[in-house]
A and B are shown apart, each in its own frame.
Chain A
Amino acid sequence: MSATSPSILRALSPADSGDEVQQRALLAEIDASCRGTLMLFFGASVVWLLIGTAFALITSWKMHSPNFLADISWLAFGRVRPAHLNAVVLGFASEAAIGVTLWLMCRLGRVPLMHAWMVNIAGVFWNVGLAIGIGGILAGDSTGIEWLEIPGYASPLLFVTYALIAIWGIIAFRFRREKHLYVSQWYLLGALFWFPWLYSAAQILLIMEPVRGVVQAAVNWWFGHNVLGLWFTPIGIAAIYYFIPKVLGVPVYKYSLSVIGFWSLALFYNWNGMHHLVGGPLPAWLITVSIVASVMMTIPVITVGLNHHFTMWGHFHKLKDSPVLRFMVFGGMSYTVTSLHGILLALRSVSEVTHFTHSTIAHAHQGLYAFFVMVMFGAIYYIVPRIVQVEWPSARLIRIHFWATAIGIMLYIVPLTIGGTLQGFAMINPDVPFLDLNKYSVVTMTVPYLKMRSFSGFVILVGHLAFATSFVWIVARWIKAARRPQPAQIASHA
């Protein structure tokens, strides 16, 4: 940026913006360059969120009322469930993640979004590929591989997207104007590089030229866990590292903790996957390695948790005023809790009980939703008004969104974790029958918890509808404003 190098803490803080006027003009230019592309990704992600939520409710309802929509093959439980997973993971969460990543790369590199055509094509391919893929799953063409259900005729489209975005990331990084790297950029570069590798390796070894026997299971969970570990987690952490200091206007607490947190995550997280196979038919060494790596995750989790917590220290009262901060802090705290919980679940003695139960499902939602999705909501609330130059129309809708999703996801996670754990204790006790209507049995004892989960789903739905309404509303205002020619405002670029 400038010849006189700013102090390291200043350079590391997104709150610092150097020469005010020049900076604001540059940020306005960057935000304007992101507008079309980001609204494509965010808009599509909102649509997928609603579709995914509908699939979720159908799936959840079927779990305690098996006759619900039972005669439509397209809506069989085993088809809607993977349709839900792919719609929310690849449709909503990944598209929101890509949007946030593009914007952060531009803002932190101080460059406008270059070669927008590339990412726009990626966005179109992504949505077409996903629509075909999810249609395929509902039609009965699932690959039968968890986290990779999208049929082989649609997945190449998704791969092209990943590759285009990764290439774009490298270009944006290479031609950045700000040479100092902020901690968020390390994580984003990691995610952009790791994911195409994971996805292509898994596609080749599981779908195109499947490896033999349970080597497939090893590849499957190496991939499956790393979707969370090397794609969502780094982008989520990058966003928290950016937005909390940004909203507060303070630097990150400790640079050294950021470095330790990043490298320990890079080193250990990608070795975690085999803990999904504890007790399974694979060599013990393979599973043990993953359990050890899971335990090592305490290092990045605690360092990042402390770093975020102490950045917030003394500023917690600001949660009242900033919805962005509220989503970020909820997400950040969930990250710490879900990760420490995950480490426990990886231990053999705990896994004996909780593996194969609903507690795993609760854990997955805690990581993906309570952490990652909440962070993405916060980021979208921050970014969208800046790129379209229109404020969010209703503060009340945002409040409803926050409280419905925050309370809803807690109502999901807490009872289902308890229910799942009890289910596990019942399952490992051979004196408890597996199914008996007149006795305490493994199947019947779960039903109240499954009903509770459906209830929580409706609470979350309220939040999602509030979010979608806000989004449609701001888009409508943006289009209206764009039709009325007027001098551009850059006042909101604080």
Chain B
Amino acid sequence: MNYGPIIFLGIFLTIASSWLGLVLAPQIQFGRQQEIKIEETGEVYPPVRPGLAQQGMEIYKANGCIYCHTQQVRTEGYGADIARNWGQRRTVTRDYLHDKPVMLGTMRTGPDLTNIGVRQTSVLWHLQHLYDPQITSKGSIMPPFRFLFEKRKAGDKPSPDALALPKEFAPEAGFEIVPKQEAKVLVQYLLSLKANAPLPEAK
């Protein structure tokens, strides 16, 4: 193998092959997939995320939630995703049409979040959990995201936004904890995570 051009050609062709197979082929197969109208409900799926939830996705992305949480449900009988109630069905390509970036994740230090908006619908639960996961999930190794909250001097009346906290997590008297905009939109994003529409291809 002393002939440079042959080596170059080989090097070029090998990478070109996987580029065609693993990048171009999927793009041709489902790169232009469209929304679908669900027969049962008449809704168009997947819906476009509302503005606040979209901003929340930026917070999710910035703080690297992906490194501990996946957003994909494996099929029944392969792993225990469905048995653990992480979804009623497996996820399919169509579930992710509007995601930029798609945050499937590769690690489950914490549970899958594909359907967290179905499992936990309470804004208060999410805010408390973000402020300190020990409030809602004792023993969790998730870090607290207190920097998404503000500690303020309380006025005569607590502000309407003030976070209700159990006694051992509450700030000293005369102060209150108020979620910043980042925390609020992040919760909106989490509430928007739902992949439970009955899709024909996921049955």
For the residues of B in contact with A, the DSSP-based class is loop
Tell me if A458 is interfacial: C-beta within 8 Å of chain B.
no
**Interface-located stretch among B47-55, B58-66, B156-164, B170-178:** B58-66
**Docked-complex contact A64 and B141, CB < 8 angstroms:** yes
**Which listed residue, A66, A214, A427, touches B79 by the CB 8 Å rule?**
A427
Contacts A281-B91, A283-B26, A352-B78 hold; do A76 and B96 have CB atoms under 8 A apart? no
**Docked-complex contact A219 and B23, CB < 8 angstroms:** yes
A257 to B30, CA, bound (A): 40
**Which listed residue, B4, B7, B79, B99, touches A428 by the CB 8 Å rule?**
B79
Chain B nearest Cβ from A223, distance in angstroms? 9
Interface string of B126-161 (1 = CB under 8 A from A): 000000010001111111111100000000000000
Interface string of B75-99 (1 = CB under 8 A from A): 1001110011000001111111111
Tell me if B198 is interfacial: C-beta within 8 Å of chain A.
no
Inside 8 A of A77's CB, which chain B residues have their CB? 64, 67-68, 143
**Docked-complex contact B80 and A213, CB < 8 angstroms:** no
Chain A nearest Cβ from B5, distance in angstroms? 11
A305 to B96, CA, bound (A): 41
Cβ-closest chain A residue relative to B2: A181
Contacts A144-B66, A427-B108 hold; do A212 and B97 have CB atoms under 8 A apart? yes
Inside 8 A of A262's CB, which chain B residues have their CB? 1
**Docked-complex contact B106 and A276, CB < 8 angstroms:** yes
**Docked-complex contact B80 and A429, CB < 8 angstroms:** yes
**Docked-complex contact A76 and B31, CB < 8 angstroms:** no
Tell me if A405 is interfacial: C-beta within 8 Å of chain B.
no
A357 to B67, CA, bound (A): 11
Inside 8 A of B103's CB, which chain A residues have their CB? 144
A interface residues, tally (CB under 8 Å): 91
Interface residues of A in 338-371 (CB under 8 A from B): 348, 352, 355-358, 360-361
Inside 8 A of A210's CB, which chain B residues have their CB? 100-101
Interface string of A207-224 (1 = CB under 8 A from B): 000111111111110100
**Docked-complex contact B65 and A356, CB < 8 angstroms:** no
A286 to B20, CA, bound (A): 12
A360 to B70, CA, bound (A): 14
A198 to B22, CA, bound (A): 12
Interface string of A396-437 (1 = CB under 8 A from B): 000000000000000000000000000000011110001111
Inside 8 A of A81's CB, which chain B residues have their CB? 64, 67
**Docked-complex contact B2 and A72, CB < 8 angstroms:** no
Interface string of A59-87 (1 = CB under 8 A from B): 00011101100111100111101100000
Interface string of B12-34 (1 = CB under 8 A from A): 10110111011101110111110
Q: Which of A144, A271, A348 has the most CB of B within 10 A?
A: A144
**Docked-complex contact A267 and B14, CB < 8 angstroms:** yes
**Docked-complex contact B146 and A71, CB < 8 angstroms:** yes
Inside 8 A of B70's CB, which chain A residues have their CB? 356
Chain B nearest Cβ from A137, distance in angstroms? 9
**Docked-complex contact A281 and B27, CB < 8 angstroms:** no
Interface string of A227-267 (1 = CB under 8 A from B): 00010000000000000000000000000000100110011
Inside 8 A of B11's CB, which chain A residues have their CB? 189-190, 193-194, 266
- 10 pairs across A/B with beta carbons < 8 Å? A186-B1, A193-B12, A211-B31, A213-B98, A213-B102, A214-B30, A214-B93, A270-B15, A437-B139, A443-B110
> Given contacts A66-B142, A212-B32, could you give 16 more A-B pairs where the C-beta distance is less than 8 Å?
A67-B143, A70-B145, A73-B63, A78-B66, A198-B15, A205-B23, A212-B97, A213-B33, A213-B102, A215-B31, A217-B96, A271-B21, A279-B72, A356-B107, A443-B141, A447-B141
Query: What are the 3 closest A-B residue pairs judged by CB atoms, nearest first?
Result: A78-B64, A144-B61, A430-B83
Binding site for A on B (CB under 8 A): 1-2, 4, 7-8, 10-12, 14-15, 17-19, 21-23, 25-27, 29-33, 60-68, 70, 72, 74-75, 78-80, 83-84, 90-111, 133, 137-147
Binding site for B on A (CB under 8 A): 62-64, 66-67, 70-73, 76-79, 81-82, 140-146, 173, 179-181, 186, 189-190, 193-194, 197-198, 201, 205-206, 210-220, 222, 226, 230, 259, 262-263, 266-267, 270-271, 273-274, 276-277, 279-283, 286, 289-290, 348, 352, 355-358, 360-361, 427-430, 434-437, 441, 443-444, 446-447, 450
